A and B are shown apart, each in its own frame.
Chain A
Amino acid sequence: MSLGGPYYLTLAAVLFTIGGVGLLLRRNVLVMFMCVELMLNAVNLTFVTFSRLLNDIGGQSLVFFVLVVAAAEVVVGLGIIVAIFRRRKGATADDLHILKG
């Protein structure tokens, strides 16, 4: 273990921010989707880091939950995206704003 906890945490924060900004700024649904994954994995990294620092296995076990939920989310999300591609040419998220209440 050569690098200290703060490095990992910083990396996680950077990744999370990239993901968040990407989600807010990009219009392509696929890219937005990847951004969400990025944010999730940044959080996973944080969990694992703290688990090691605090010697608590709970953080690592929670990561498995996140992974499972993320996998499920990918299934549903990709399904939706495929459905969108079938109906229209592009996959711009803003085109779908007519679904508002």
Chain B
Amino acid sequence: MLHYAYIIPLLPLAGAVILAFFGRRIGNPLAGWLGTLLVAASFVVAVFVFIDLLDRAGGNRSFDQTIFTWIPVGGLQIKAALLVDPLSITMVLFVTAVSALIQLYSIGYMQRDPQFSKFFVYLNLFVFSMLILVMADNFVLTFLGWEGVGACSYWLVAFWFDRDAAASAGKKAFIVNRIGDFGFLIAMFLIFSTVGTLTYSGVFGAVGSIGPTTLTAITLLLFLGAVGKSAQIPLFIWLPDAMEGPTPVSALIHAATMVTAGVYLMARVSPLLSHTTSSLNVVAIVGLLTAFVAATSACAQGDIKRALAYSTISQLGYMFLAVGSGAYVAAIFLMVTHAFFKALLFLGAGSVIHGMHDEQEMSRFGGLRKWMPVTAGTFIVAWLSIAGVPPFSGFWSKGDVLMNAFARSPALYAGGLLTALLTAYYMGRVVFLTFYGPERWRTGGPHETLPHEAPSVMIVPLVVLALLSFGGGIINLPIDNYDFLGRWLSPVFGPALRVLHYSGSTQRLFETADAVVAVVGAVLAGGLWVRRWQRPRLTPVFFQRAWWVDTAYDTLIARPSTALANFSAVVFDNRVIDGAVNGTATLIRDSGERLRRVQTGYVRNYALAIATGAALVLAYVASRVGS
């Protein structure tokens, strides 16, 4: 079955191609079903590959499949080759599973969109790119997938491109990502010039021959790529704006899968990262800072999707904190459970927005649990999971991250715990503002029809994801023989992985602390937000604007650049460039204008000129002869 691994990315690609050419003819909703089924089939193939891999012994679970030589240039032989190992197949499993569920949901959500089939073209192309990204066996092929998901993200954020905000949000996402991509590219150049190969196995085998400074540079540049893709400080500003895209896109790309590509990359290059402590420190600190800053920003958002976007940034920060602590398994564990509960949160929010007729402001919600009980129930499951209330999946994954952070440094742990409190609080705020309290939408806007529950194609993914959010922790419980993910992934990371040796009672202590923090945060949110929906002192503008980071970029970079561009276009181009061209023409014309006076048309004038000239030449020659 392992030899059929290439089918996994092939199916979504086939879906994208078929829908691109025949999507309109296949029509609505059949095009959506086709896309969903192909991704689901891809998931099934991945499950078979996974089972095959399980049958192998622990150290032997790596399989390299060359499809063709992609770029043969002298010493640089880049192959389109897939690497099937526990890490990539874990990513493949959750990417295809979550994608299939979200595509199913999209059939309902995008029902009335005139560009229905185009939406599924992009989604399938996205899944293909994401699978290439995680299954590639070399940096260049990963980069192909990396750019592919970036392009799909751009198309999907700007899907409703006739809206100004959506179009510019798409551009912003693309441009900010380019900054990170530049880091990725330079890192690849550095790797090739020092090691001479770009396959993962080749580079990791030669890690000893790379100088420490070069290694730090390579890992930090790769991290810059990850920072762009995974929306970390200082490049996180594109993600909240990316919420202009359709909600299933936010769930799939900007919460569950694409934004975790940075974390995946860091986990993939763990053999490089583990050799450079300074890079690990940078990763951990940037992760923690992002987690905290984004969590505070999430506390003050009024738009439900923006609140979730900041929450995503914050959770991604946790994952980088885990990576920086050398706890790659914890990072992947949180990534998987986060994919479940954050996809669920977004799909729930989408259901609310759908039911409330495209209203996204939480100040216009309230009391919705009576009107959309399934959405409310599943949303609350996701909330308890992300908050880290036991025994939901988020409790186990976040506990794992925090414990590893403590092993690295108590300061990191303290910051992480504070952020966990904030997480429980801001998600509680979203839940209480949306589903509890007075029904503010009755007075707010001109709602002709009452809110309604979503159709069943949207409900089914919600329920499935709620089950996964609840029980997802089972893949890696901190109990012997139940830590499947840890044992499954540890051969990939090998010595790079830090293994904790806390006793059972210490672990219980950590778990109690996590649980207490989660419950305190949730209760705090309930006490503050169930009855009141406006507390300006708790939502300062500083947090609403995410610590003014976006504004700072605007003032420091965007505006001066625009001014410079304006200057170049209006002043420099018009005056200097055009001036030089027009000036030359004017000079020639004016001098010609003057010179034509010489031609009088009188033959005698010409004759006189000839005579004078001849006389002068003669005089000159005579003077030379004389001397």
Residues on A close to B: CB < 8 A? Answer: 20, 23-25, 32, 93-94, 96-101
Binary interface encoding of chain B residues 587-625 relative to chain A, with 1 for a CB under 8 A from any of its CBs, else 0: 000000000100111111001100100000000000000
Check B601 against A24 for contact (C-beta < 8 Å).
no
Total A-B Cβ pairs within 8 A: 29
Kindly list chain B residues whose C-beta atoms are within 8 Å of the C-beta of A100.
596, 599-601
B611's partner among A20, A32, A93, A101 (CB-CB below 8 A) is: A20
Residue ID in chain B nearest A101 by CB atoms: B599
Residues on B close to A: CB < 8 A? Answer: 596, 599-604, 607-608, 611
What separation, in Å, do the CA atoms of A96 and B604 have in the docked complex? 12
Check B601 against A98 for contact (C-beta < 8 Å).
yes
Kindly list chain B residues whose C-beta atoms are within 8 Å of the C-beta of A97.
600-602
What separation, in Å, do the CA atoms of A96 and B606 have in the docked complex? 13
Kindly list chain A residues whose C-beta atoms are within 8 Å of the C-beta of B611.
20, 24
Tell me how far the C-beta of A97 lies from the nearest C-beta in chain B, rounded to whole angstroms: 3
Kindly list chain A residues whose C-beta atoms are within 8 Å of the C-beta of B601.
96-100
Kindly list chain A residues whose C-beta atoms are within 8 Å of the C-beta of B602.
93-94, 97
What separation, in Å, do the CA atoms of A99 and B601 have in the docked complex? 6
Check A24 against B604 for contact (C-beta < 8 Å).
yes
Kindly list chain B residues whose C-beta atoms are within 8 Å of the C-beta of A32.
603
Enumerate the 5 nearest inter-chain pairs by beta-carbon distance, A residue then B residue, closest first: A97-B601, A100-B601, A101-B599, A93-B603, A100-B599
Kindly list chain B residues whose C-beta atoms are within 8 Å of the C-beta of A98.
601
Kindly list chain A residues whose C-beta atoms are within 8 Å of the C-beta of B604.
23-25, 93-94
Check B607 against A101 for contact (C-beta < 8 Å).
no
Tell me how far the C-beta of B601 lies from the nearest C-beta in chain A, rounded to whole angstroms: 3
Residue ID in chain A nearest B603 by CB atoms: A93
Main secondary structure of the interface of B (DSSP, over half): helix
What separation, in Å, do the CA atoms of A32 and B604 have in the docked complex? 9
Kindly list chain B residues whose C-beta atoms are within 8 Å of the C-beta of A24.
604, 607-608, 611
Given contacts A24-B607, A93-B604, 16 further A-B pairs with CB under 8 A are A20-B607, A23-B604, A23-B607, A32-B603, A93-B602, A94-B603, A94-B604, A96-B601, A96-B603, A97-B600, A97-B601, A98-B601, A100-B596, A100-B600, A101-B596, A101-B599
Main secondary structure of the interface of A (DSSP, over half): helix
Residue ID in chain B nearest A35 by CB atoms: B607
What separation, in Å, do the CA atoms of A98 and B600 have in the docked complex? 8
What separation, in Å, do the CA atoms of A24 and B603 have in the docked complex? 8
15 examples of A-B residue contacts, CB within 8 angstroms: A20-B607, A23-B604, A23-B607, A24-B607, A32-B603, A93-B603, A94-B602, A94-B603, A96-B601, A96-B603, A97-B600, A97-B601, A100-B596, A100-B600, A101-B599
Tell me how far the C-beta of A88 lies from the nearest C-beta in chain B, rounded to whole angstroms: 15
Tell me how far the C-beta of B471 lies from the nearest C-beta in chain A, rounded to whole angstroms: 96
What separation, in Å, do the CA atoms of A96 and B608 have in the docked complex? 17
Residue ID in chain B nearest A24 by CB atoms: B604
Kindly list chain A residues whose C-beta atoms are within 8 Å of the C-beta of B599.
100-101
Kindly list chain B residues whose C-beta atoms are within 8 Å of the C-beta of A94.
602-604
Residue ID in chain B nearest A36 by CB atoms: B607
Residue ID in chain B nearest A100 by CB atoms: B601
What separation, in Å, do the CA atoms of A32 and B53 have in the docked complex? 111
Tell me how far the C-beta of B390 lies from the nearest C-beta in chain A, rounded to whole angstroms: 99
What separation, in Å, do the CA atoms of A64 and B62 have in the docked complex? 102
What separation, in Å, do the CA atoms of A66 and B222 have in the docked complex? 87
Tell me how far the C-beta of A81 lies from the nearest C-beta in chain B, rounded to whole angstroms: 12
What separation, in Å, do the CA atoms of A73 and B604 have in the docked complex? 18
Residue ID in chain A nearest B592 by CB atoms: A101
What separation, in Å, do the CA atoms of A32 and B608 have in the docked complex? 13
Tell me how far the C-beta of B304 lies from the nearest C-beta in chain A, rounded to whole angstroms: 79
Tell me how far the C-beta of A95 lies from the nearest C-beta in chain B, rounded to whole angstroms: 10
What separation, in Å, do the CA atoms of A96 and B599 have in the docked complex? 12
Residue ID in chain B nearest A26 by CB atoms: B604
Tell me how far the C-beta of A37 lies from the nearest C-beta in chain B, rounded to whole angstroms: 14
Residue ID in chain B nearest A97 by CB atoms: B601
Tell me how far the C-beta of A43 lies from the nearest C-beta in chain B, rounded to whole angstroms: 12
Residue ID in chain B nearest A29 by CB atoms: B603
Most A CB within 10 A of own CB, among B600, B604, B611: B604
What separation, in Å, do the CA atoms of A65 and B83 have in the docked complex? 92
Residue ID in chain B nearest A20 by CB atoms: B611
Kindly list chain A residues whose C-beta atoms are within 8 Å of the C-beta of B603.
32, 93-94, 96
Tell me how far the C-beta of A38 lies from the nearest C-beta in chain B, rounded to whole angstroms: 13
